Amino acid sequence: MEGRILYYYLFAIFILYLKIGKIRTGDRRKDFEKCSIPGIDKFFPVMRWNPCFQCTCDQQGDKELCRIKKERCPQLECSLQEFDPDKCCRSCKTCSYDGITYKDQQIWTSKDKNCTKLQCKEGVISDITPKCVITCNNPVQLKDKCCPTCQGCTHKNKKIKEGDWLRDGSCITCTCNNGSISCQQQTCPLLQCKNPIKEDGDCCPKCNQSKAPLQISSKEPMCHFKDEQVENKDTVTLGKCTTCRCQNGTMVCPRKRCTKDNSCPEQDLVSSPEHCCPICRDKLSCNYMGTVHENLKTWYLSGCVECQCVNGRNMCKKQICQKNIQCKPGYSASYRVGSCCLECLPDTKTCIGYGDPHYRTFDGKAYSYQGICKYTLTKDCTNQKTFSVTSRNSGKFSRGFSWIKTITLNYANLTITLGQKSKIKINGESVRIPFLYYPYIDIKLSKRYVYVYTKDGITIKWDGDSYVEVSLPKTLMNKVCGLCGNYNGNPVDDFKIPNGLELNNDDFGEYWRLKESKACKRHVKLLNRPQLATCTGWRLLHAHRICSKTFFDRSIGSCRWHVPTGIYFQDCLTDVCQCNFGKQNCECGAIRSYFNRCSTFIPQLSWKKKENCDSSCSGGSVFSTCGPRCEQTCDTLNSIEACATNTNCIPGCYCPAGFVWHHGKCIPPFHCPFN
């Protein structure tokens, strides 16, 4: 029973199908009767949804026949294809430019510039204007030619017949016209794909057609470029010469045109990675991590790395130091900010403070002032106020005398404090040495001393206890003031204050006290007592014994002719007498000050007393009377190997064999951090 019902059901469907077919056939025949004009294509009403089928009305005898024909679509070789609902076949993406639609691969000449050639390729308009290739020294530019011509039709010893052409490689074509040769290099259009391939013998690369093409609507306003969608009116930068802009579904990519800079000599025009056109050397610059550097400017990075701007390119390398540097008169070996190597820099003048405190000004005036407060050692007294160096004196170990406890440098919006045991703070925060704030500040630790170098040539040397040297370049002469004097080359007027009044020793020291300092709340004005007033008995004998051995040493006999020892001997007595509460080597301040003064007359002076003062080694280093001139650190491990074999040696603190210096201590080389 169920089988019979299924049979009747299928039979009913079949009858219905035949009736529908008759209706559609009738519609077609009705439509056939409308075919009265031979050769006119008409769509069947029943196939309006498919534009690929067409009806061709044709007259055969006394009858009109309608032939059904399906359109055949060509095979496309493009990666971006567009479709139109009213058309049967897809097409390669066209381009719209200045109100005109251009087919894929179509080339045309720009309306504004006759020599500019544009090409549409898969929805991208590229500037494919050929580049002119000059083959002679005196080319001639004709009005109707885009490229200059050269007399004669010979190219690389090959003759070209009149009207003929010659291909030089895959991209250059030379043509002979009217006895002159003109050569052009083909410019390749931009491609949709990200990784095009170039076959042997081809000038321009192509997209790999193995990838399935992308199909888009012809009405779509956004652009498709290199597998990405670009919103209408958005731009995409390609290299340094081309910026593309999406204009209603077409990527328009003009190239920047170069014009010759007549103000720049030909030999100074160079190519740059950031500029499309050749640029004059003096206009070049480099951008390194947000900082712009002029051409040929040198700067430094931590880890002994030296960088230079070379024709717009950042060139960085590990520093390799020159050994046995010799400087001409007026120059001495010192460090630039960031550099790990000594260089010959203009001489400086040095102010020294040490002991209870004794001072020697930039111009050489020596005096003592035992104030307990903060004082200005030196500062920029012009309207610029570029820097200041202050000292905090503490009354430790004595009621009547004081010692320099800390040094503070204010420079480049930084406050750098040099404290006891070589502890460093910048803007109140502790930092580790070495510290580089390029190009303004470079802080180094060389065994016992902390060195601070500034961009303007200011150098501070601090022993982490009570000895300080402040060195200034000659460009700051007559521009500074403070306890270190006015730096005008005349020691006689060093006690003059900025208003021109000359003071005595104590009043001069009191004038440079920082009144607003918290350290001055406990300030007690000291009496003008003789330096040795409180030094008697065995303390005076002890001081005489130490200072006599020091300043009557034969090693400095040659210097005594240039620098008398009297005032330094007196300072030594005062400092040693006040050294009763466990302090050691209190004579070293006077020794270092005298040695510094002697070095200006005898550069190679060797004094064992000075060496002993610098022999307080830390971090596992040991003192040696003969060590290499260049210390080996983690940063310079591979750059100063030749220096280690130098036969010339100097005394100082050095790491034992098999160790290198890093962050204040000696460590094995394999423990050095990897840069």
pLDDT tens per residue, range 8-66: 555 555 454 444 444 343 343 434 444 544 444 444 454 556 777 776 666 666 666 66
Q: Single out the residue in 568, 584, 613 at which a domain terminates.
A: 613
Q: Work out the average pLDDT over 173-184.
A: 89
**Do 447 and 336 share a structural domain?**
yes
Parent domain of 443: 332-522
- Round to whole Å and give the CA distance between 509 and 10: 122
**Do 379 and 438 share a structural domain?**
yes
- Round to whole Å and give the CA distance between 16 and 29: 20
Q: Write the DSSP string, 359-407.
A: EE-TT--EEE----SEEEEEEE-STT--EEEEEEEE-TT-SS--EEEEE
**Do 347 and 306 share a structural domain?**
no
Q: Single out the residue in 198, 225, 253 at which a domain terminates.
A: 253
Query: Is the distance from CB of 644 to CB of 632 less than 8 angstroms?
Result: yes
What SS3 state is found at 573?
A: helix
pLDDT category, 191, cuts 50, 70, 90? confident
**Do 501 and 353 share a structural domain?**
yes
CATH code at position 462? 3.40.1000.10
**Do 498 and 351 share a structural domain?**
yes
CA atoms within 13 A on the CB side of 222: 8
- The vertex-67 CA angle with 62 and 70, nearest 5°, equals 170
Comparing 253 with 206, the larger pLDDT belongs to: 253
- Residue 531: which residues within 8 A CB-CB, separation 6 or more? 356, 368, 570, 573, 574
Question: Does the pLDDT value for residue 205 go beyond 50?
Answer: yes
Question: Does the pLDDT value for residue 82 go beyond 60?
Answer: yes
From residue 207, give the alpha-carbon distance in Å to each of 77, 253, 616, 617, 630: 10, 18, 71, 68, 58
pLDDT category, 367, cuts 50, 70, 90? very high
Nearest to 345 by CA among 479, 488, 478, 457: 457
Number of independent structural domains in the chain: 6
**Do 654 and 552 share a structural domain?**
no
Averaged pLDDT score across all residues of the chain: 81
The answer to the question of residue 79 being in a domain is: no
The answer to the question of residue 530 being in a domain is: no
pLDDT category, 426, cuts 50, 70, 90? very high
The answer to the question of residue 89 being in a domain is: no
Q: Considering the chain, what percentage of its residues have pLDDT values greater than 70?
A: 82
Question: What's the per-residue H, E or C state across 498-547?
Answer: CCCCECCHHHHHHHCECCCCHHHHHCCCCCCCCCCCCCCHHHHHHHHHHH
The answer to the question of residue 570 being in a domain is: yes
Nearest to 389 by CA among 488, 489, 456: 456
**Do 496 and 408 share a structural domain?**
yes
Q: Which pLDDT value is given to residue 65?
A: 65
The answer to the question of residue 76 being in a domain is: no
**Do 643 and 542 share a structural domain?**
no
Tokens 């020291």 belong to: 509
**Do 278 and 144 share a structural domain?**
no
Query: Is the distance from CB of 226 to CB of 193 less than 8 angstroms?
Result: yes
The answer to the question of residue 380 being in a domain is: yes
Query: Is the distance from CB of 438 to CB of 337 less than 8 angstroms?
Result: yes
262-316 pLDDT per residue, tens: 788 888 888 777 778 888 887 788 888 888 888 888 888 877 888 998 877 889 9
pTM: 0.56
Q: Which pLDDT value is given to residue 365?
A: 93
The answer to the question of residue 80 being in a domain is: no
Question: What's the per-residue H, E or C state across 185-254?
Answer: ECCCCCCCCCCCECCCCCCCCECCCCCCCEEEECCCCCEEECCEEECCCCEEEECCCEEEEEECCEEEEC
**Do 342 and 274 share a structural domain?**
no
510-559 pLDDT per residue, tens: 999 987 766 565 444 443 444 555 677 788 888 899 899 999 998 899 99
Q: Single out the residue in 253, 274, 289 at which a domain terminates.
A: 253
Q: Work out the average pLDDT over 176-197.
A: 87
312-348 pLDDT per residue, tens: 788 998 888 887 888 888 888 888 888 888 889 999 9
**Do 366 and 309 share a structural domain?**
no
**Do 292 and 228 share a structural domain?**
no
Q: Work out the average pLDDT over 196-213.
A: 82
Tokens 């500037």 belong to: 127
The answer to the question of residue 85 being in a domain is: no
Look at strands 435-437 and 441-446 and give their pairing: antiparallel
604-650 pLDDT per residue, tens: 888 888 887 877 666 667 666 567 767 788 877 766 444 544 445 66
